Amino acid sequence: MFMNHMKKYLNMYIFLLLLIIIGCLVMIIRHQPQDFYSYLIQDISQRDRHFETIEKIKYQDGLYFISYLDDQAQSHLLIYENVQNLWMNDYQFWGESSSSQDIDTFNYADSHLAIIVVYGKNKQNASQYSFVNDGKVYEKEINDSHILDIYMLDGSSCHIDDWTLYDQNHQVIQNEL
């Protein structure tokens, strides 16, 4: 008699354990993230009805930086944070910038970190740019038709001084944003 009760309880515990396992598997399967590129296309299309094409995607320090163009030839920058939870990776909108200029910057600062992003279409065929932040000169060769460069700087200043864009002969094309 005692053994029959034990078998009954054991079978009930096994059944409950199987239900819990099946429930967890269903939750995991239902929460599979779509790939990031598909997510971007869908999210950007909802944000901007003029969205045309993604030009570049870069990942740095938990943030995705996406540069895209719209059908009105404006450059846009979107930033998403990669948020990991128990079941999956998720993407949370973090910031944005839009510009009618060929090349522009996105600047952000808090008490610990400054972010400067140089982005845009290199329509002038520039070969290099430079700028100054907190007395330090930053120079970068441009080897592409679309620019997406990220500077994560210690400190709280995201101010840019002495922005200069150069041609192939190192002549100044533009010296202000």
Q: Tell me the pLDDT tens digit for each residue of 114-140.
A: 999 999 999 889 999 999 999 999 999
Q: How many other CB atoms are there within 10 angstroms of residue 79's CB atom?
A: 19
Q: Provide the terminal-to-terminal Cα distance of the chain, rounded to the nearest Å.
A: 87
Q: Is residue 177 very low, low, confident or very high in pLDDT (cuts 50, 70, 90)?
A: low
Angle at 61 between CA 58 and CA 65, to 5 degrees: 30
Domain ranges of the chain: 1-30, 36-174
Kindly report the pTM of this predicted structure.
0.75
